[in-house]
Amino acid sequence: MNKTEINWTDLTWNPASGCTKVSQECKYCYAETLAENKRGTKAFPNGFDMTIRPHKLAEPGRTRRPSLIFTNSMSDLFHDEISDAYRDRCFAAIRDAPRHRYQVLTKRPETAERYFSTRSVPDCVWLGVTVGVRESLGRIDILRRINARVRFLSCEPLLEQLDGIDLSGIAWVIGGGESGSHLSRPDICQKRAMVERGPKGGPRWVPRADRIGWARHLRNATKAAGAAFWWKQFGGPTPKSGGRLLDGREWNEMPEHISGAMPEADPRALRLIA
């Protein structure tokens, strides 16, 4: 279990690592960059090749403070190279520590649907899909067919306006622009970034006026659907380059309108009194 700078969670837990790219959102995967930079180390001996990590399964049980846990942040729990038998072990570990809330995000909802066709989603699991381009909107339809207490979307990297998005049955939406050192290249920045270089004397990176509308459209669709909205970042070469303000404020909503969605105690409040 690791602390993280991802602002919508408390901890990351990786009972597996490694993945393969399946859509446009994957092109500049932060997890791949991190793992490949550490290939051959104790942390990532196989780089970003799929690696099962059963020694990690006991970690939720050893973490006493009820927390939000981004599960498999360095992989996809529904990757083809992860067996159902090992997934069963992961969800057994989750059921053994239900005081936490496990944010399970996938780009392979069809595998999740097959898996949960004969199994229930634990109430302490938030199940989500990545949707950063209109081509990925079909993932939401599959997610809706899975009976989970909290369904959520990660619209990061947001690479275009998600016209036609249907958020019925979705409790929480995270939005965010892409980040990474590759955005220091002007050609890539022009194609994928929600930021541009700022004027002299001001912030180095600022949200692009022609792309702020992508974020507003997503926020407005989320609010119209009665879901909670979290704007993570505008992105840039680092996650904090473009800031987080959307129309003059931060959007830090959690799916608290869903009964039982949050951990037994709010970990953000606990941090203030620790």
pLDDT tens digits along 173-223 = 999 999 999 999 999 999 999 999 998 888 899 999 999 999 999 999 999
Nearest to 252 by CA among 270, 232, 235: 232
Query: Side-chain half-sphere of 246: how many Cα atoms within 13 Å?
Result: 25
What integer pLDDT is reported at residue 266 of this predicted model? 52
Structural domain boundaries enclosing 154: 2-273
**Beta-bridge mates of residue 207:** 195
pLDDT beneath 70: ranges in the chain = 265-274
What integer pLDDT is reported at residue 272 of this predicted model? 41
Q: How far is the C-alpha of 227 from the C-alpha of 16, rounded, in Å?
A: 30
CA distances for 164 relative to 23, 134, 217, 265, angstroms: 19, 8, 10, 36
pLDDT tens digits along 157-182 = 999 999 999 999 999 999 999 999 99
What integer pLDDT is reported at residue 269 of this predicted model? 44
Angle made by CA atoms 66, 72, 78, in degrees to the nearest 5: 125
What integer pLDDT is reported at residue 202 of this predicted model? 84
* CATH number, position 17: 3.80.30
Q: Which residues, including other chains, have CB under 8 Å from residue 225's CB and lie 6 or more apart? A: 167, 168, 170
Q: What share of the chain is helix, strand, coil (3-state, %, to 5)?
A: 30, 20, 50
Q: What is the CA radius of gyration of the chain?
A: 18
**How many domains is the chain built from?**
1
